[in-house]
């Protein structure tokens, strides 16, 4: 199967590193023109210089701060005044870790702005072109914690669950327009985010970060954590014509970690 995204424009959130970067690279390799979106303009500029342009693509970047919703709203609105998007990958940095008793109402509001409001607002803007063109792909990067909550990620558990239920509702409404809406449920991947969480967990448990990682790998049936490139392969497929009959789904990418159905 040859996945070709030639002629498609993709917007990828959180794409200056980790999973977002891997997704952007794979979409470009598959022929899409990619707009990177994250905080680090310098890093995104470097990535753009390395992206595939063999299909005549034109790549660009947009510097935003997802944690400041009003500022983000202004910047993303400005972007859509002069740009259209066929493939939208909703992805942001995660909120601070911590259990339910460690968080207050303000923490949940900030997480809601970061993980939910930014996703819904960006999608609303992207949908106008998708509906007019009768083709679109919306892919939300979520977490396995929406199925099996992780007690040290109370904010992420709560708000990401809201995102996937919203996505399920949206999928029904836009299916007639040739638009698919899917969410990917992220397991353990080799990223800076995992390293940071492991460091905090190690400090709390009084063990080394290496031991935390080893324990994590042991939990996964395939006995390793994921390579971000593997994430890019899944998203490229969901962004393609070949996935047109797949919508409203929550797809785990976790090496078999989830025990629930």
Model confidence pLDDT, tens digit, residues 61-107: 999 999 999 999 999 999 999 999 999 999 998 888 899 999 999 99
**In the predicted model, is pLDDT for residue 134 greater than 90?**
yes
| Domains of the chain, CATH where assigned | 9-187+228-252 (3.40.50.720), 189-225 (no CATH)
What's the rounded Cα separation, in Å, for the pair 8 and 96? 34
In this predicted structure, the answer to whether residue 195 has a pLDDT above a threshold of 90 is no
Q: What is the pLDDT of residues 204-254, one digit of tens each?
A: 889 998 998 999 999 999 999 999 999 999 999 999 999 999 999 999 999
Helix (H, G, I), strand (E, B) or coil at 143: strand
* pLDDT value of position 150: 87
CB 115 within 8 A of CB 159: yes
Length in residues, the chain: 261
Q: Rounded mean pLDDT of 161-178? A: 98
Please measure the distance between the N-terminal and C-terminal CA atoms of the chain and give it in whole angstroms.
28
Q: Rounded CA gap, 258 and 253, in Å?
A: 9
- Cα–Cα distance measured from residue 61 to residue 48, given in angstroms and rounded to the nearest whole number: 8
Q: What is the distance between the alpha carbons of residues 252 and 141, in angstroms, rounded to a whole number?
A: 10
d(C-alpha 260, C-alpha 209), whole Å:
28
Backbone phi, then psi, for 192, in 5-degree steps?
A: -60, -35
What tokens appear for 209 in the block? Answer: 């970060």
- pLDDT tens digits for 203-214? 888 999 899 899
- Residue of 80, 59, 62, 163 lying closest to 126 (CA atoms): 80
- Residue 197 has a pLDDT of 79
pTM of structure: 0.95
When pLDDT is averaged across residues 37-54 and rounded to a whole number, the result is 95
- The answer to whether 156 and 145 are in contact (CB under 8 A) is yes
- The DSSP bridge pattern shows strands 179-186 and 87-90 to be unpaired
Strand boundaries in 84-123, DSSP class E: 87-90
């Amino acid at each position: 199967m040859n996945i070709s995204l030639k002629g498609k424009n993709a917007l990828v959130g959180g794409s200056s590193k980790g999973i977002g970067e891997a997704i952007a690279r794979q979409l470009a390799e598959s022929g899409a023109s990619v707009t990177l979106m994250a905080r680090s303009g310098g890093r995104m500029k470097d990535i753009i210089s390395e992206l595939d342009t063999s299909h005549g693509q034109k790549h660009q970047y947009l510097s935003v701060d997802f944690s400041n919703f009003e500022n983000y709203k202004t910047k993303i609105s400005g972007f859509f005044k002069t740009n259209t998007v066929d493939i939208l990958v909703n992805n942001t940095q995660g909120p601070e870790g911590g259990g339910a008793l460690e968080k207050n109402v303000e923490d949940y509001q900030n997480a809601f702005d970061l993980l939910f409001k930014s996703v819904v607002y960006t999608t609303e803007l992207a949908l106008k072109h998708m509906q007019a063109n009768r083709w679109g792909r919306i892919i939300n990067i979520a977490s396995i914690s929406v199925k099996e909550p992780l007690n040290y990620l109370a904010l992420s558990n709560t708000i990401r669950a809201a995102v996937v239920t919203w996505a399920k509702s949206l999928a029904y409404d836009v299916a007639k327009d040739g638009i698919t809406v899917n969410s990917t449920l992220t397991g353990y991947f080799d990223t800076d985010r995992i390293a940071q969480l492991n460091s905090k967990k190690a400090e709390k448990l009084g063990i080394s970060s290496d031991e935390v990682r080893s324990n994590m790998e042991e939990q996964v049936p395939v006995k390793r954590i994921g390579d971000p490139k593997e994430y890019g392969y899944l998203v490229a497929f969901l962004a393609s014509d070949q996935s047109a009959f797949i919508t409203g789904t929550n797809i785990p990418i976790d090496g078999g970690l989830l025990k629930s159905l």
